[in-house]
Amino acid sequence: MKESLQIAVDTGGTFTDVAIRGEDGSLFVWKVPSTPDSPDDAVIDGVTGAIEELGADITSISQFVHGTTVATNTVITRTGARVGLVTTAGFRDMLTIGHQARPSLYDQHHQRSKPLVPDELISEVSERVSADATIIRPVERDEIIDLATRIRARELDVLVVSFLNAFVNPENERNAVAILKELGAAPEIFAASSISTEMREYERTSTGTINAYVQPKIAGYVGRLAQRIREIDVSAPLWIMQSNGGLLTPDHASEHAARTALSGLAGGVVGSAMWADQLGLDKAVSFDIGGTSTDIALIRDGQPDETMAGQIDDLPLQLPSVDVHTIGAGGGSIAWLDSGGGLRVGPQSAGAVPGPVCYRRGGLDLTVTDAHAVLGRLGSSLLGGRFELDLAAARQRMTEWGDSLGLSTEDAAEGILRVINATMARGIRKVSVERGVDVRNCALIAFGGAGPLHGSDLLRELDMKSAVIPPMPGIASAVGMLDAPERHDFSSPVDVLGPEDHGSIAMVHSDLATRAESAMDCPDPNLSYLVDARYVGQSYELTIPYVADWESQRKILDSAHAERYGFSDASAEMEIVVARLVARGEESAKLQSRETNDGGMLSPVELRQVYIQGSWKQVPVYERADLSTGTSLCGPFIVNQLDSTTYVGPDQLCRVDEFGFMHLTEGI
């Protein structure tokens, strides 16, 4: 009988990562360069290459999970569909006006991102629904017929209908969509309320237009990928990672394309949350460094923080997602000088092509990876010897750049790392200190291709509890996807101001549960009941667990408010504005322990000169596979493996636990 294999593929800006898990829990990793112009090429190359290297039968794949950056890249590069918008008369400028939030308060030159729908593709309809769901003016068929003629002439790809207050009563929206579909106004037509059913018209409309903008590309990509994996004899169903850390079928991903906006990075957060839970880390920071960016998320009691109001390219996205703070800092981040002569690193990136100078692909700009190479933290090759580095070229370019700054080669390289580490430290504080969590009580789960190279430095700079390096950090996002469950989120607006109305939430949850059971592919899903609550007068909410007792519900809100904002208001009244339900499939797998250290001597594979704290030092280099359970080593040293390199600094202790995780702590 063939062994059943689970496979996950994570497409990144520089590399596409492949993780394969066997029935015995063993993991095999593989990496291939990404192909940004055609991401599915790298997916197929990665899968076939990994299976060939493993010596397995490709027909034995029983699960195929994929995290994609197609939606994100489509919005950022503005290469999406031609989208039209139909809205309530008087509100055509909603996307342009937005709201009063100003991310750069004192930057007079700051430019907001342009809406995805230009003004000439926006139409108005004389309908109206009141805030209490009363239809003041229904949709007039004759008006829609006249409008459809004008819309057809615009040759749209997708048309979105978003009416005022449709979140409390979508009847007008649905009627307009039905008539426009009947008249063939556009190839694809849908109501914004079918994507987001929550209040705040600008955010809901923005979410609908984002979904429309990326939908054709996501549908085309997912369909093409599903066909291509069938052509290479993979019969397993394709699952797509979504922003909330769960999985979607290709059909659901095509219809609700905006839910894949944070698809790639969510896998790492899911994995980090599972690892934190099973390692007993009550507070942890998921820290994923790739070639272009660093994705940071807070994890409490084994659960990642989530947000119901994210952003993509400064555009509101009102869908549940893991609450990730992304910064333009990665291995490919380019070093440059600002107008005042100050050293900056990123957010510009050398990407996969041409990449860092040491990648031998024609790159001329020095990057973070080049700095690590010059300082000796990286050896002469990556990916187990399959990817040769040009250390001499990186050093020569660093010397030239250092001379122009009056710095030595080593000081220039160290300067790049200090600057990028400071940027990363600010990002970590953003998800911890700014949310009322003492960063010194957090463990840093560092992964991604470059995460283990920076874990030691950030552990020291932020005085964190520990830095934890997963067994296969370079493909941790792909590994996390293997354990992600199927997930669907549902919500409905409510208006509850006291105990007399609190019981109505249970009926709303019951309706949502019925919808969840019909949407889920797996039987008997795990249902979580939540509400969005706030103090009366506030314009923001906190998502908290639902309980049937009003007083207990109030205590949960007070506790959550105090943790997030540092205080609770006993004199304020509570109101509940949204009822939520999260439906999940089977829970993730458990970590498997490894054999205990047999007590044999651990020998380095080489001794390497590494520049540390102002001087060159000879440090041992170990292979990760040789670090068995119970191994304890004092820094400085370096650990090599196929998918990443770990640097451990002076006066730091590294301990390997029973699951193969490396735990770095300060002080020996």
Please check whether residue 94 lies inside any domain of the structure: no
Q: C-alpha distances in angstroms, 203 versus 168, 182, 330, 524?
A: 15, 28, 30, 33
Lowest model confidence (mean pLDDT) among 36-40, 109-113, 246-250, 496-500: 109-113
Reply yes or no on whether the pLDDT at 200 is more than 50: yes
Contacts with 396 (C-beta within 8 Å, 6 or more apart), sequence order: none
Q: At what angle do helices 171-182 and 141-152 cross, to 10 degrees?
A: 50
pTM to 2 decimals?
0.86
Q: 466, 484, 502: which is the final residue of a domain?
A: 484
Please check whether residue 360 lies inside any domain of the structure: yes
What values do phi and psi take at 597, rounded to 5? -55, 130
Confidence at residue 1, expressed as pLDDT on a 0 to 100 scale: 47
Q: What is the CATH classification number for the domain harbouring 53?
A: 3.30.420.40
Question: How does the average pLDDT of the chain come out, rounded?
Answer: 90
CB neighbours of residue 91 within 10 Å: 18
- Say if residue 410 is in the same domain as residue 493: no
- Say if residue 393 is in the same domain as residue 480: yes
- Say if residue 278 is in the same domain as residue 331: yes
Please check whether residue 597 lies inside any domain of the structure: no
Burial of 392 (0-12, 13-18, 19+ CB in 10 A): exposed
- Say if residue 618 is in the same domain as residue 641: yes
- Say if residue 125 is in the same domain as residue 145: yes
Pick the residue with more confidence: 596 or 225? 225
- Say if residue 312 is in the same domain as residue 419: yes
Please check whether residue 86 lies inside any domain of the structure: no
Q: Which of 655, 636, 658 is nearest to 647 (CA)?
A: 636
Reply yes or no on whether the pLDDT at 599 is more than 60: no
Reply yes or no on whether the pLDDT at 306 is more than 80: yes
Residues 506-518: pLDDT tens digits? 999 999 999 998 8
On the question of a cis peptide bond just before residue 103, with omega within 30 degrees of 0, the verdict is no
Please check whether residue 89 lies inside any domain of the structure: no
Q: Which of 122, 124, 103 is nearest to 113 (CA)?
A: 103
Q: What is the mean pLDDT of residues 621-650?
A: 92
| Burial letters 288-320, b for 16+ CB under 10 A, else e | bbbbbbbbbbbbbebebbbbbbbbbeebbbbbb
Confidence at residue 373, expressed as pLDDT on a 0 to 100 scale: 94
Q: Report residue 122 CA to chain centroid gap.
A: 31
Q: What is the CATH classification number for the domain harbouring 284?
A: 3.30.420
Confidence at residue 475, expressed as pLDDT on a 0 to 100 scale: 84
Q: What percent of the chain lies above the pLDDT cut of 70?
A: 98
Residues 260-277: pLDDT tens digits? 988 878 888 989 999 999
Contacts with 240 (C-beta within 8 Å, 6 or more apart), sequence order: 65, 66, 67, 68, 222, 247, 248, 249, 250, 253, 260, 263
- Say if residue 461 is in the same domain as residue 520: no
* CB-based contact 351:334 (threshold 8 Å): no
- Say if residue 470 is in the same domain as residue 494: no
Please check whether residue 451 lies inside any domain of the structure: yes
Residues 14-25: pLDDT tens digits? 778 899 998 888
Q: 198, 214, 230: which is the final residue of a domain?
A: 214
Amino acid identity of residue 546, one-letter, is Y
Q: What is the mean pLDDT of residues 223-230?
A: 94
Q: C-alpha distances in angstroms, 500 versus 146, 497, 550?
A: 47, 8, 9
> What is the C-alpha to C-alpha distance for residues 453 and 413, in angstroms, rounded to an integer?
14
Residues 209-225: pLDDT tens digits? 999 999 999 999 999 99
- Say if residue 310 is in the same domain as residue 414: yes
Per the structure block, which two tokens stand in for 374? 């010059």
- Say if residue 157 is in the same domain as residue 224: no
Residues 105-163: pLDDT tens digits? 787 777 788 899 999 999 999 999 999 999 999 999 999 999 999 999 999 999 999 99
Please check whether residue 450 lies inside any domain of the structure: yes
Residues 326-373: pLDDT tens digits? 888 888 899 999 888 889 998 888 876 788 999 888 888 999 999 999
Bridge partners, 466 (sequence order)? 443
Its sign, for the CA torsion 421, 426, 429, 431, is negative
- Say if residue 122 is in the same domain as residue 222: no
Residues 180-199: pLDDT tens digits? 999 999 999 999 999 998 88
Q: What is the mean pLDDT of residues 169-177?
A: 95
* CB-based contact 257:188 (threshold 8 Å): no
Confidence at residue 474, expressed as pLDDT on a 0 to 100 scale: 85
Q: 443, 465, 484: which is the final residue of a domain?
A: 484
Helices (H), 463-602: 476-482, 499-502, 504-519, 550-565
Number of domains in the chain: 5
Confidence at residue 589, expressed as pLDDT on a 0 to 100 scale: 64
Confidence at residue 596, expressed as pLDDT on a 0 to 100 scale: 63
CB neighbours of residue 592 within 10 Å: 12
Residues 571-591: pLDDT tens digits? 999 999 999 999 998 766 677
Please check whether residue 354 lies inside any domain of the structure: yes
* CB-based contact 162:85 (threshold 8 Å): yes
- Say if residue 472 is in the same domain as residue 556: no
Confidence at residue 600, expressed as pLDDT on a 0 to 100 scale: 59
Q: Which domain holds residue 576?
A: 487-584
Tokens 């040491």 belong to 358
